[in-house]
Amino acid sequence: MKISMRRASADDAPFIYSLINKLAEFEKAPEQVTLTLDQFLQDAFSDDPLCFSHILESDGTPAGFTLCYYRYSTWKGKSLYLEDLFVEPEFRGQGLAKLALKTLAEIAVRGKCGRFEWQVLDWNEPAIKFYQSIGADLDPEWINCRLEGESISNLAK
């Protein structure tokens, strides 16, 4: 079995978009996906993209994806943020997630990133154990904060 990872193109957008929805189902929040395929195409594959993706393959078959972007830390400078990593259930256990993280770590090193970051849901024990096995620090001190939809508009008023 040969596993690989390649940079995604606009032709991969429908596959990625389908996995975004599968990931939302896995995370028990399918109703939270408001992103459209057209919006994703614009955001990820325009002349000035907001994010970039990779396709994970098993024997040449698309099996998963990553979605990343750069952000900035006032303490560490440039950081690579992994928004999503998802492998289809039937392809799990082949080393695709480890390949993805290794490749993204290489991108972070080449890009002189002070950090490579991501989040994991507190109930996702298999992912937590996997991330710990590769040496990731799981930081219990920070609480995620966000505003969405009407809350953003209310604050803006």
**Among all residues, which ones are annotated catalytic?**
131
Which two tokens mark 8?
Answer: 């995604």
Cβ proximity of 62 and 12 under 8 Å = yes
Establish how many alpha carbons lie within 13 A of residue 134's alpha carbon, considering only the half-sphere containing its beta carbon: 15
Cβ proximity of 64 and 88 under 8 Å = yes
Beta bridge partners of residue 67, listed in sequence order: 53, 84
